[in-house]
Amino acid sequence: MADSALPTAPVPQLAQSVRDRSGVRRRLRYYGEKLGGSLISLFAVILTSFFLFRIIPGDPVRTMTHGRPVSIEQQEQLRRDFGLDKPLVEQFWSYLTGVLRLDFGDSFQFNRPVTDLIGDRIWPTVLLVGTSVVISAALGLWLGVRGAWNHGSVGDRVNTGVALTLWSVPSFWLGLILIVIFASELGWFPTSGMESTGVEGWERIPDIAHHMVLPLVTLVAVVYAQYLMIMRSSLLDEMGSDYIVTARAKGLRDVIVRRRHAVPNALLPTVTLIFVNLGFVVFGAVLVETIFTWPGLGQLFYSGLSVPDLPLVQGLFILFSAAVILMNLLADLLYPVLDPRVRP
């Protein structure tokens, strides 16, 4: 009688609680591993940045004083001012402590803090490359969906052939061809720069858009094929799945099957690619910005390599790499949310 009076343990609730705690631990472990891997990658980038650009042949002082009446004593004074006369270990320690304070030092050739130069040049790059990523993703996804849903058709073969051809073309070569045809010969667009002199107020918006056409077309033409091919391949894989066959067997129209079932599942690999390319937004397009004299981070990086301007290229390299690492981390964290099948 005494035993029958004892309350029974809520076994199902207890088991559910154990499973919930186990799931929380797995998720925390997953997020911790991804965050730890990103921090390790960033630290490796910081180490690599210091030694990588010191392997580049060239003397910054000699490059900057080339063709100028500068004595040997003045060159040595410049080396002392730049800190190039110090031992390598001391230079590395000064560089490392500066990076931890987000202080990349002063540029050799511009004689300004690297952070100020980045602040001046980052918005033209975000405008150009960010716009190209949005247009490339929208165009590539649209053509990829249409190509996969009508695979084997004439339109699919033409779109795939054109995309692969443009993808294989070097961006600098395509940019030069566009300059020769549409700028030099036809005179439809400017050959260089971001805006015309003397343009102020609201008139700057159409002027900047006019200058941006050729570099934007160059970037979109080279990049959109990535989205098209990945979306097309993913959707072709999904079209053979059982749930697609079941949806069609229920009598759903092709438009409904494509929009509500096939495309959302096929988008997952493309979402990862979009995040990766967003990381390259701040990196810009070094060759495209240089060819079109677009005043962004890519052109700034190219001018820094020509010296070499060590503080400038080191700071930009860390910025570019950190953006890519951050976007990869966000993609890893969001992927389980978008796809329950890979949830930890």
Q: Would you place residue 1 in the very low, low, confident or very high pLDDT band (cuts 50, 70, 90)? A: very low
Lowest mean pLDDT, pick from 13-22, 211-220, 260-269, 287-296: 13-22
Strand segments (E) across the chain: none
Q: Does the pLDDT at position 295 exceed 60?
A: yes
Give me the torsion for CA of 197, 198, 202, 204, rounded to 10°.
Answer: 0
Q: Would you place residue 11 in the very low, low, confident or very high pLDDT band (cuts 50, 70, 90)? A: low
pLDDT at 40: 92
pLDDT at 18: 57
Do the beta carbons of residue 134 and residue 141 sit within 8 Å?
A: no
Residue 91 lies in a domain: no
- Look over the chain and give the mean of its residue pLDDT values, rounded to a whole number: 80
Residues 6 or more apart whose CB falls under 8 angstroms from that of 209 comprise: none
Lowest mean pLDDT, pick from 31-45, 101-115, 194-208, 278-292: 278-292
User: Hunting for tokens 């159409």 — which residue is that?
Assistant: 206
CA distance 228 to 340: 25
Q: Does the pLDDT at position 51 exceed 80?
A: yes
* pTM score of the predicted model: 0.78
Residue 65 lies in a domain: no
Largest CA distance in the chain: 109
Residue 81 lies in a domain: no
Residue 44 lies in a domain: no
The count of structural domains within the chain is 1
pLDDT at 216: 92
Q: What is the mean pLDDT of residues 142-159?
A: 84
Q: Does the pLDDT at position 52 exceed 50?
A: yes
Residue 26 lies in a domain: no
Residue 288 lies in a domain: yes
Which amino acid appears at position 38 of this protein? Answer: S
As a 3-state breakdown, the chain gives helix, strand, coil percent values, each rounded to 5, of: 75, 0, 25
Which amino acid appears at position 59 of this protein? Answer: D
- CA dist 85 to 46, 61, 91, 135, 203, Å? 22, 11, 9, 48, 50
Residues 6 or more apart whose CB falls under 8 angstroms from that of 88 comprise: 54
Residue 217 lies in a domain: yes
Q: What is the mean pLDDT of residues 273-301?
A: 80
Q: Does the pLDDT at position 272 exceed 60?
A: yes
Token reading at 171: 């961006």
Q: Measured at the alpha carbon of residue 180, what is the angle toward residues 178 and 185, in degrees to the nearest 5?
A: 115
Query: What CATH number is given to the structural domain containing 282?
Result: 1.10.3720.10
Range of the domain at 183: 119-197+205-325
Q: Is 247 helix (H, G, I), strand (E, B) or coil?
A: helix
Token reading at 157: 């073969």
pLDDT in tens, 321-342: 888 888 888 888 877 776 666 6
Percentage of residues in the chain with pLDDT exceeding 90? 4
Residue 309 lies in a domain: yes
Lowest mean pLDDT, pick from 156-160, 182-186, 209-213, 282-286: 282-286
Q: Would you place residue 246 in the very low, low, confident or very high pLDDT band (cuts 50, 70, 90)? A: confident
Give me the torsion for CA of 233, 236, 241, 243, rounded to 10°.
Answer: 110
